[in-house]
Amino acid sequence: DIQMTQSPSPLSASVGDRVTITCRASQSIISYLNWYQQKPGKAPELLIYGASNLQSGVPSRFSGSGSGTDFTLTIRSLRPEDSATYYCQQSYTPPFTFGPGTKVDIK
């Protein structure tokens, strides 16, 4: 199975900060990497798919990059409503494993 790791966790940042979350796969997953945002008590929501494609309706301050084994999610200018846990997931081969999550807190 492909193992997914994320860093840092947790992460504390101020409104307006640029935030970067890293996700690493245990083997190459090409660009089959998705990012989800989950707020407390809510279902996850898709942010980025295929490593760098912004899901419809997601604010443009979110962006993704990477390929192979190393990926990043960037929030260009952190807003209070971005306080959430962010998960990466590989969709290269089943089981479609998730990373452990990165909780982003607003200072």
Partner 1 sequence: EAQLVESGGGLVQPGGSLKISCAASGLTFTDFAMHWVRQASGKGLEWVGHIRTKPNNYATVYAASVKGRFTISRDDSKNTAYLQMNSLKNEDTAVYYCARRRGNHLDLWGRGTLVSVSS
Residue with the two structure tokens 């279902």: 43
* In the complex, minimum distance from the CB of residue 60 to partner 1, in angstroms, rounded to a whole number: 18
* In the complex, minimum distance from the CB of residue 14 to partner 1, in angstroms, rounded to a whole number: 25
Structure tokens at 53: 């494609």
| Cα→Cα distances 70→58, 67, 88, 92, Å | 22, 6, 11, 14
Task: For partner 1, give the closer residue by CB, 63 or 89.
Answer: 89
Task: For partner 1, give the closer residue by CB, 50 or 59.
Answer: 50
- Give the separation between CA 37 and CA 46, rounded to whole angstroms: 7
* In the complex, minimum distance from the CB of residue 18 to partner 1, in angstroms, rounded to a whole number: 25
Q: CB neighbours (10 Å) of residue 36?
A: 22
Q: Give me the residues that bind partner 1 (CB under 8 A), please.
A: 1, 32, 34, 36, 38, 42-46, 49-50, 55, 85, 87, 89, 91, 94-101
